[in-house]
Amino acid sequence: MAPGYSESPRGLVYTERPMAWPLRGFILLVGLGVFVVPVPFALHAPWRTPELSTLLAVACIVLPCLVGALFVRIALGGPRRIEFDRAGRCLLHTRRGLLGTRQLRIGFDRIDRIEIVRRESMDYPDFFALMLHAAGRRPMEVGAFDDPAQAQHWQRRIEALVRA
């Protein structure tokens, strides 16, 4: 796994690798296909005389649409970009998606710690993820590495930048 880190005049920049187009197309196809699931429920539900089964039909229409929308969002979303801004003393998390670009600023003073988490698998070798913990936020993954020494190197670099 490539670290995805680079230097910029403002500080460190982490950029996720974009999703492969065949995978993106498959996820989009599944997402759009899920929208077909509610059609029989919409056609055969007793809409004129509401019953308990009508409520079940509504659930069978709404839930697949939500799942399909999630898959479409995943397929059409872009990679994350996390910039550790040395001058502004903040982390700028940028995510491009269907509804535009979203940016989140987290001040360096809100970052509690950066830890290395070992992710295990039966199918491929273990890898090491850098997890950034900020006050009031869930942990954010900011890199994945094959080598623990490389993960420790980037952990120290980020901690030095944040604590400076």
Map out the domains of the chain as residue ranges. 5-17+79-163, 24-76
Q: Is 90 exceeded by the pLDDT of residue 71?
A: yes
Q: Which pLDDT band holds residue 65 (cuts at 50, 70, 90)?
A: very high
pLDDT at 68: 96
Whether this model's pTM surpasses 0.85? no
Q: Which pLDDT band holds residue 69 (cuts at 50, 70, 90)?
A: very high
pLDDT at 144: 87
pLDDT at 1: 41
Angle ∠(111,146,151) on CA atoms, nearest 5: 30
Domain 5-17+79-163: which CATH number of 2.40.50, 2.60.420, 1.10.3470, 2.30.29: 2.30.29
CB-CB contact of 135 with 116 (8 Å): no
Q: Is 80 exceeded by the pLDDT of residue 72?
A: yes
pLDDT at 149: 92
- Point out the least confidently predicted range of 6-10, 31-35, 54-58, 143-147: 6-10
pLDDT at 2: 46
Spell 91-116 as b/e; 16+ CB within 10 A means b. bbbebeeeeeeeeeebebeebeebee
Give CA–CA dist 100/77, Å, rounded: 9
pLDDT tens digits, 105-160: 999 999 999 999 999 888 888 899 999 999 888 999 988 888 899 999 999 999 99
Q: Is 90 exceeded by the pLDDT of residue 6?
A: no
Structure tokens at 141: 């993954």
Stretch 62-79: mean pLDDT: 93
Q: Is 90 exceeded by the pLDDT of residue 25?
A: yes
